[in-house]
A and B are shown apart, each in its own frame.
Chain A
Amino acid sequence: MALADFFQKYPHDPKVWDEMHDADHVRPHYRNVCDFLSNIPVDELNRKEELARRLFMSQGITFTVYSSGEGIEKIFPFDIIPRIITAEEWRHVEQGISQRLRALNLFLKDVYHRQFILKDGIVPVDLIYSCPHFLREMQGVDVPYDIYIHIAGIDLIRDNDGTFYVLEDNLRTPSGVSYMIENREITKRIFPDLIPQNHVLPVTHYPSILLKNLMSLSPRRISAPNVVLLTPGIFNSAYFEHTTLARLMGIELVEGRDLVVENHRVFMKTTSGLQQVDVIYRRVDDDFLDPLVFNPDSTLGVSGLLSAYRKGNVAIVNAIGNGVADDKAVYVYVPQMIWYYLNEEPILKNVPTLHLSKPDEQKQVLANINKMVVKKTNESGGYGMLMGHVATEKEIEDYKKEILKDPRQFIAQPVINLSSAPCYIDGKMQPRRIDLRPFALCGPGGIEIVPGGLTRVALREGSLVVNSSQGGGSKDTWVINN
């Protein structure tokens, strides 16, 4: 049996934007791939799925779950059917993200210096000062080229008319880019020739752009600055990504214990003594970076790092204190920031968001809570979330109590019907909900976004939660040059 039948039976939900199919037809940019897949027997597709699984396993593209004293290797679920974006859609996304990042970067510079935006009353002062990620330690600190956000992973979703919305700005240590790269490598293996036939734009140059940007930030003007990637260590679930990026850029992968600060300079401990470090691409959260300033129990960071940073002796990527710009309550004001700093109309829309600290909005949310998604302002990874339309009454009551304790911590959004894309599950083509996280890089030369990104999939039928910690998977993401 070939897959053609399954495509004919592919269900269509009029309330959801499907990436492949409109009400009657396969969309033009999916046609090529659909024709190709229709001719493949199901057995062969199963073999390809198995091949993908083995490739992930043998290359150690896994994360380790530690239980009962023993590590169990898991792979991040991968769906073999690529998600396709047209060049036109991509241009829109690219322009929207770069506009947003320009504004957010100016906002960070402003909020840690003169604070015009607060004085002009565009963003409320108490909102900023009550944000736990607003770090007074960063006040008045000048960062190289005024760039705070070197790497951003902005999450986009599509509503039922196909419009892109920004769901979250991840401006601290966004992860997932190694899967963007590896997923593409796997597709090359399981569907040879399909990528060139479809004119898919490449993503493999991401590490070289990042390295170029990192080198350019070196405070010492030397030809070969020491750039390192700081990881929390092998127990971190994103450890695979840290090693991949370090290897692809040819930079040293260090842990906090490999570094030491002496006389406001950072050094790494090597077999031939101490060597000065110029640029740190850190994958450790602000709170754990320097036990002298932040969390004193942290063993992941380096004592004295912040003082070296403030003196300008080392560059840190992303800058410290970015959390104030991707706080979910501050998110509400990003469109105003774009108007304020750039005097441009925002290209990408925000999801309408209500903040529970405003009494009228709170009333509105509590009355309609079963049609809302309520989130904590500074949690990520799908934790601490209430999906009103599926929650039980008890869950809602408990959550309401939480909200009333500290309304600043909560926002609410209407349930957005994420778009769906075909996935190969249990030998059938089935629609599943997806999002999109493109990775944007800002350097002294401007903002660059490799065409593609990470498409996350909610693998459970009907689920709207795509986070990997909540049973999500991923897909290769193609931007095709049509």
Chain B
Amino acid sequence: MMPRFQRVVSADSSAELAIQTRDLNLWYGTFQALFDVNLKIRQGIITSLIGPSGCGKSTLLRSVDRINERLGSVRIKGTIELFRQDIHAPTVSLAQLRKQVGMVFQRPNPLPISIRENVLFGYRIHHEKGGRIARSEADGIVEEALRQVLLWDQVKDRLDHKATVGLSLEEMQKLCIARLLPVKPLILLMDEPCSALDPRGTAAVEELIWELRGRYSILIVTHNMAQARRASDECIFMLMGRVVEHAPTDQLFVVPAHRETADYIEGRYG
């Protein structure tokens, strides 16, 4: 599959921004979860979000594709822009937004349909002709997506099996990544994608995420500091709903600019 956007990571700080937030405040009912978040997340790299539980990192991630609005009681002030378009503009269609922004959840959540149909699900719902596509085209899409997530060889003989049974958690999580690819998203959001996996699965999925780097802008929430350190280009440290520090990963872990960051990465709390 030829990704639409294939840009080399540039060291130039003026490289195009994938996500930009301005004075983002977010409330769940009366509880304020985000305070004045201003972020510029560059395109084509992996950015990790770290911080102790309840610091708002998942909330921030789930605001980018507006999936947290499912909860109903969410209120937002400030803006989030993807490629300089405001995602809360009244003309924005959620379907289009979520086509551009794929999401991987903490627990692998394949749909209770066949592996093949899982991969095709997003493609079908965004397809103009009501999802009716030729068998050969569908086969090509499925194989390409599963090959990209390094899952093709394991599942090629059981594409018609139900995806919710008989797959390991690691395979399910890879499938959940694979089903995002046919709709050609620009941004991938990952909410602790490895926290349900064993160390081997974690290594495999991390390797996959690293493979996808460059073709997609990836924002990944993680609890695991070692993971953030080895698998991201830039790192954002959040605390109590605020962004404390946003820096290249090497720099943040070696010479953190803030006392709170240093304490957290040394494991004094969190």
Q: Do A and B bind each other?
A: no
